[in-house]
Structure 1
Amino acid sequence: MKIRFAMLLFTLVLFIPGLALAADEEPAIYVIKQGDTLWGLSERFIRDPHYWPNMWSKNGQITNPHLIYPGQKVRVFPDRLEFEPPEPEGSAPAAKKAAAAQAETMAEVAVERTYSVRGNEGFLMEADYKPAGFIVAVHHDRIVAGDDDIVYTDIGRRDGAKGGEKFSIYRKEGIVSHPLTNEVMGVKVVPLGTLQLTDLEQKASRAIITKAYQEISSGSYLMPYRGDKRHEVVLKMPARELKGYIIESYSGTETIAAGDVVYIDLGSAQGAEAGNMLYIVRDVTLNQQYAEGRVDRLPQELLGALVILETGKKTATALVVKSIDAIYKGDKIVSLTK
């Protein structure tokens, strides 16, 4: 009797969506039906419709969160949802056929997602951030310098500098203005390498290039040494609602896609933090000729997602991790889509 009751209970857990599970029980399996969305699944099973961006971000094969497919299976836990991996090779022929048909769209069970910061993404140098100094000349009047070359700087003992001190080298790429307001947001700078001071005068010094990523020339900015900036950024839910814009790209090109580095008009002053995932959206223009006042706005078009790598006070450097359609400077970014 107990065995039969247990089997009945297990069947109910599997096939009655929304039934709560204890933390130590096996998850229920839900098979996605026509019309299901990540938003709807999140609201239905864990009572949090805003959970879906987290679910989307951890399933790399879902390029469009509004397009999930009938037949996909979801594991339902009390506090999360996970996509089931495809059926193994030894499964029944029908199951194998279904798994093969779903192979390109089925999402793997996700591990905690992290993103690499290489250290060469650059940033926007805001108005209150000043360089420590400049490279004023290259040894033997050469135009460019590389590894182990000698250069001269305007940093000296009056600045409190000491022999052996390291600095990071940057190149000014240009002034960046907001694409909508024309407000000057900062100067785009990209890293070139590092140097170490060897001999100091009162207002100048000799230095050796210890590492060069690109060619280094006179006029390059010197900033306090930032060390080895390569590290992992772990996804982190924003502490508050964030809304802003993409204001520039690292490459300077107009069209932006997954893998590109961009700069945004959100920083620590707005509550943005490294690891925050934001969604790139675009307003859809409403033709009032046909709406006749019955509709005031249309749902925004979802273009992709980005992850913040590093923040300044009013700006941040971010990596585009998903792109569904072409992305441009001036496109909106939000912490939650509407």
Structure 2
Amino acid sequence: MKRLMGFHLIIALVLSLCFALSIMAQEKKETEGVYTIKKGDTLWDISEKFLKDPFLWPKLWQRNPYITNPHWIYPGNPVRLSAFEEAKKVEPPKAVEEKPREVKEVKPEVAEVKEVKEVKKVEPPPVVEKKPEVVAEKKPAEEKRVIPEIRSAGFIGGFDHKGIGIVLDNKEGKNLMAEGDVLYLSFKTAETILIGNKYTIFRGSDVIRDPVTEKKIGRKYSISGNIEIIDQSGNFYTARVLEAFDAIYKGDMIQPYSKEKMEIETKR
């Protein structure tokens, strides 16, 4: 009986040692900037744990190009936490000095001048004056031109106007986003967000004061552009910039799209 208990104790010690070694190996990988995915993990959770901000999950996706879909990751796969090393600088090739070629001096040849015969003067034909044609004056044709959206100039609102969503990042990892770029969004609204829906991106600008009392009465908001939802995964959405009136930044806010346009008649 004592031998059996001793055998069980040895097995327990070996299993404990293996478990401790696996934990140490995992911690070593994490210190080296690599994390092994566990069951139930998401890029959102890993970003919150190691980058201290869940909204930075697109950065992890960008650093791990083998992940084709950020919403499908599997236990056992590695996740690079740190940025890639900068490419080694390549020294430019040394310029090869070319020896100047010898240029032979070419003596100019002088052509012989032949005797010029006398040329008879030819009188020009008489000029016939033409009367100017009278052209009837045409009235300028009127046409209608569509002026860009009125709201592209911005609007005035309260200090607490936060919209219904926010721009998290973009597919290319740019600091400034423009027309045609693909954005990652997050919404905070009870309304249903559907693929194909259009929204307007804006940001806070100057503070508005009462001209008499100088009291702060609101804030001006600048319109950056309009977007269209093209994909969805859980609480996150992907959109494409349809038109940009200004540079779009991470953290810009989102509000419902406005179709207001203005037409004026112009003359050519």
Richer in strand (by share):
1
Fold agreement, TM-score > 0.5 = no
TM-score range for the pair, normalised by the shorter chain length: 0.3 to 0.5
Using the size of structure 2 for normalisation, the TM-score is 0.39
Using the size of structure 1 for normalisation, the TM-score is 0.31
